[in-house]
Amino acid sequence: MIEAKNITKKFRQQTAVDNISFNIEEGENFVLLGTSGCGKTTTLKMLNRLIEPTAGSIYINQKNIEEQNAETLRRSIGYVLQNTGLFPHYTVAENIAVVPNLFKWNKEKIRLRVEELMRKLHLSKEYYNAYPNELSGGQQQRVGLARALAADAAILLMDEPFGALDPITRTKVRTDFINLEEFKKKTIVLVTHDVQEAFELADRICLMDKGKIIQTGTPAELLFKPVDSFVKTFFDEQRLQLEYKSVTLQMLWQFLKDDHSNTSSLKEISSQTNIWQALEYLNTNNDDSVSTKNNNTVKEINYASLMHAFNQYKKYN
């Protein structure tokens, strides 16, 4: 759906983005990850022509975006800015309705859409006519998300959308966002410097450094098959937690013992559950074992079998 071919951006002497290429599939959540200044925002802004590349081309649905009107292109792509970018003199409803108004939707359709999004993003109706400065940071960020979703664009670009919030609010807003049906449907390109956030949101992560892409792959690929020591050390601090979160029971299947005894009496969890969630489940439910099913085979999961399978997985991957 999105194809970037050898794009470079130079600001006078400095190369902010250095000859990078990537393909993003329809419906995919693609995360640009890297430390501050590595070129993430510049890359994102080239996708909707807020910044023009110095060299290279970008195609959306096989069409070169250079050949499209920049305004039209921008309206057809949702965009969430780092610091919400809300208009301070517009009400919440007016902020959410910016793009539908540009599309000249009728008033009733706009009102219904704004109300629907406020409900979905857990913004109380009483804020409909409030101004951004009357809202908390988390609420403002929810308005920013609602605005980006308003016209139901197929592509959503998000620049550190949860970055300016305190950790607790950030987790709340992020969880609510992940649970939206829109999150599952849309093609999303998200910029973050937060490793946990990247792992929570990404189908694939594109790890950047100094304007270059160092590795693109699934979270598990970056953890277990790093291309070099930069990638390896990038995740070291949180490695164990990230590994638990990126490996599902299904990925461990061949290393989990088959069970033919008493699994029918056990509670069942999905084979898409990751190790982290499975451990949490065992902990909070006070169950010693649970069962999980995949293609008609059933496995019994307990702490020991899970750890054993995980170690085998690491050894043979």
Q: Which residues bind ligand ADP (CB under 6 A)?
A: 11, 14, 16, 34, 36-42
Which of 40/74 has CB closer to ligand ADP?
A: 40
Map residue 248 onto helix, strand or coil: strand
Shortest Cβ 16–ligand ADP spacing (Å): 3
Asked if 49 and 129 touch (Cβ cutoff 8 Å), the reply is no
| Residues at the contact surface with Mg ion, assessed by CB under 5 A | 41
Shortest Cβ 82–ligand ADP spacing (Å): 9
Asked if 44 and 70 touch (Cβ cutoff 8 Å), the reply is no
Tokens 């970018």 map to which residue? 85
Which of 38/110 has CB closer to Mg ion?
A: 38
Which of 81/227 has CB closer to ligand ADP?
A: 81
d(CA 179, CA 182): 8
What is each CA distance from 306 to 83, 256, 261, 273, 287, in whole angstroms? Answer: 42, 7, 18, 12, 14
Which of 127/234 has CB closer to Mg ion?
A: 234
b vs e for 67-80, b when ≥16 Cβ sit within 10 Å of the residue's Cβ? eeeeeebbbbbbbb
Shortest Cβ 215–ligand ADP spacing (Å): 16
Map residue 36 onto helix, strand or coil: coil
Which of 41/84 has CB closer to Mg ion?
A: 41
Burial of 112 (C-beta count, 10 Å sphere; 0-12/13-18/19+): exposed
Shortest Cβ 48–ligand ADP spacing (Å): 14
d(CA 239, CA 281): 21
Which residue has the CB atom at the shortest distance from Mg ion?
41
Which of 32/123 has CB closer to Mg ion?
A: 32
Amino acid letter for position 253: W
Which of 47/306 has CB closer to Mg ion?
A: 47
- For the chain, give the number of residues: 317
Shortest Cβ 98–Mg ion spacing (Å): 22
Nearest to 29 by CA among 180, 132, 135: 180
What is each CA distance from 129 to 91, 103, 112, 277, in whole angstroms? Answer: 5, 22, 15, 40
Shortest Cβ 269–ligand ADP spacing (Å): 38
